[in-house]
Amino acid sequence: MAKRDAVLAALREIPWFHGLADGDARALIAAGSAKFYVPGAKIYREGDDCDRLAILLRGALTVEREDSQGNALRVGVIRAGELAGEMGVFDPATRNATVIATVESTILEVARDKLLAMRAANPMLLVAIANVALNNAMTRMDGVNDRIERELRRSKAPKIVKLRPGQAHPATPAPAVDTAEQPRLKKLWAKLTRF
Amino acid sequence: MPHSSTTDADLLNLRELGAFASYTDAELQELESIADIRDALPGEFICREGDYADAFYVLCGGRARVLRDIDGARLELGTLKPGTVFGQMALIRRSERIASVVCIEPALVMTVRRAAYDAVRVTGSPLGVRLQMHNTIMAIRQLRKATHQLMLIYIRAEAGDREARISARQKRLKLVSLQSALADWGLPVDEIPEPNEHEGELPMSRREYVFRTTGRL
């Protein structure tokens, strides 16, 4: 009972949970299970089936992906109150990242089928979680689109042009020089290039 | 031109359109009660690029074309078929439309305004839950497809094919990401160009991408 109260109190601190009824909170706790992880523990692995949602109640998690050489790249962090696995819960897929506890962490984990089964009895809870997943997806979508734009612009960047001696770069306009100054500049140039 | 009142037969027709195949009668009736349904003529714009999004739409009958201005040229991104739901992302983001949609034949258009949409969401009605989940799934799929496109760009760069291949497809990648998003909005959009021969079904692991494009594991 004390553990359940502690989980309830932690849920109540999450901003997106504020407007939900006590009944929704208790239903979520009853459907899920609270789990504790030590630092370094792998909670989820890239490539596994994503059939559970995790709400981080306390602590911090690191999100990593493998690059083409198999090296682990840190791609993000999950802070208290945030979700892990929410996208796979709504649109089934394999996990696209590994989630590791950075510090001692407590999560409330709910299986996908149990979460979706709460649709009739706790619709506002499901709407709230779906809304968090939606906002997360849109925020990340903005970042990905920005990167696509940058990569496309970079591929359009002017190439390095090899110039022949004496040839001016086509993009560089010739400086405007007063004609009265030209004899003096010519003499100076001759002096500088004598060697 | 306002349409006549919807009958049970019309609700059943809506269910046959694909996007609403799993909706219950109660959900469809609630949708009909909050929506405006009207006839639209060929050439009539349902929404315009740049306009503030204050509704989402369902193409209940007829077809429409999606247009976008890119670098001063008006490009056709695809064709929407009956049953397509579109316009929700801009509505949710409270942003401007990223494309225009114009009817190419006589059409029946259902419009759900922002106020009605927000109202069903906060009540937790079956339709509200359904729409919330539908939009969430759409956003997730759009993200996955956009990430898929970005990975292709990076993989090509890693493989050293940047000059030869990306320059040939850079505009099409942008279009495909938009068209892929449109494909998720209902029935498949026709004539989606394939950016390359390696694009397959999602989700696909990164390792598979690298292998299929570079031959390396």
- Cβ–Cβ contact A182 with B under 8 A: no
Residues B199 and B151: their CA atoms lie apart, in Å, by: 11
CATH of the domain at B71: 2.60.120.10
Helix (H, G, I), strand (E, B) or coil at B120: helix
Q: Does B12 touch chain A (CB under 8 A)?
A: no
Q: How confident is the model at residue A6 (pLDDT cuts 50, 70, 90)?
A: confident
Beginning with the edge strand found earlier in the chain, give each strand of the sheet holding B55-61 in spatial order.
B36-40, B107-113, B55-61, B85-86
What ipTM was predicted for this assembly?
Answer: 0.74
Structural domain range at position B189: 137-214
Chain-chain contact of A91 with B126 (C-beta, under 8 angstroms): no
* B24 and B109 inside one domain: yes
Q: Is A66 on the interface with B (CB under 8 A)?
A: yes
- Closest residue on chain A to B214 (Cα): A68
My answer on whether B91 and B183 are in the same domain is: no
Q: What is the pLDDT of residues A133-145, one digit of tens each?
A: 999 998 888 888 8
For residues B117 and B142, membership in a common domain is answered with: no
Q: What local confidence, expressed as pLDDT, does residue B213 receive?
A: 52
- Is-contact B6 B108, C-beta < 8 A? no
Q: Among candidates A85, A12, A15, which has minimal Cα distance to A49? A: A85
Terminal-residue alpha carbon distance, chain A:
91
B146 vs A91: CB contact, 8 Å cut-off? no
**Bond preceding residue A165 cis, omega within 30 of 0:** no
Single-letter amino acid, residue A128: A
In total, how many domains does chain B have?
2
| Domain-located, residue B41 | yes
For A152, the closest of B139, B174, B206 (CB atoms) is B174
Tell which wins on pLDDT, B88 or A170.
B88
Are B100 and B144 contained in the same domain? no
Residues in chain B closer than 8 A to A117 (CB atoms)? none
Domain boundaries in chain A? 2-137
Judge: A66–B143 Cβ closer than 8 Å, yes or no.
no
The Cα of A151 is separated from the nearest Cα of chain B by a number of Å equal to 8
Output the six-digit token pair for A10. Answer: 């932690």
Compute CA A137 distance to the chain's CA centroid, rounded to the nearest angstrom.
9
Residue A37: CB atoms within 10 Å: 19
Nearest to B216 by CA among A67, A117, A163: A67
The burial of B88, by beta-carbon neighbours within 10 Å (0-12 exposed, 13-18 middle, 19 or more buried), is given as: buried
Cross-chain Cβ contact B173/A152 below 8 Å: yes
Radius of gyration in angstroms for the set of CA atoms belonging to chain B, rounded to a whole number: 19
Give the model confidence (pLDDT) of A97-123 as tens digits: 899 999 999 999 999 999 999 988 999
When pLDDT is cut at 50, 70 and 90, the band that residue A171 belongs to is: low
Summarize pLDDT for A23-39 with one digit per residue, the tens: 999 999 999 999 999 99
DSSP 8-state assignment for residue B100:
E
Judged by a CB distance cut-off of 8 A, whether residue A45 touches chain B is no
Residues of chain B in contact with residue A130, where contact means CB-CB under 8 angstroms, are 129, 132-133, 136
Helix, strand or coil for residue B81?
coil
Which residue among B93, B146, B205 places its CB closest to the CB of A144?
B146
Q: Domain A2-137, what architecture?
A: Sandwich (2.60)
CA-nearest of B9, B17, B183, B22 to B107 is: B17
**Cβ contact B124–A137 (<8 Å):** no
Does the beta-carbon distance from B140 to A152 stay under 8 Å?
A: no
Regarding whether B100 and B21 lie in a shared domain, the answer is yes
In this structure, are B45 and B88 located in the same domain?
yes
Tell me, yes or no, whether B122 and B149 share the same domain. no
pLDDT in tens, chain B (217 residues): 334 444 444 554 777 777 788 888 888 889 889 999 899 999 999 999 999 999 999 998 899 999 888 777 888 888 998 888 899 888 988 889 988 999 999 999 999 999 999 998 888 889 999 999 988 998 898 888 888 777 777 766 666 555 545 545 554 555 555 555 554 444 344 433 334 444 443 344 555 555 555 554 4
pLDDT in tens, A44-76: 998 888 889 999 999 999 998 877 667 788 888
pLDDT beyond 60 at A162: no
Burial group, residue A147, by CB count within 10 angstroms (0-12, 13-18, 19+): middle
The answer as to whether B1 is a domain residue is no
Whether the pLDDT of residue A1 is over 50: the answer is: yes
Mean pLDDT estimate for chain A: 82
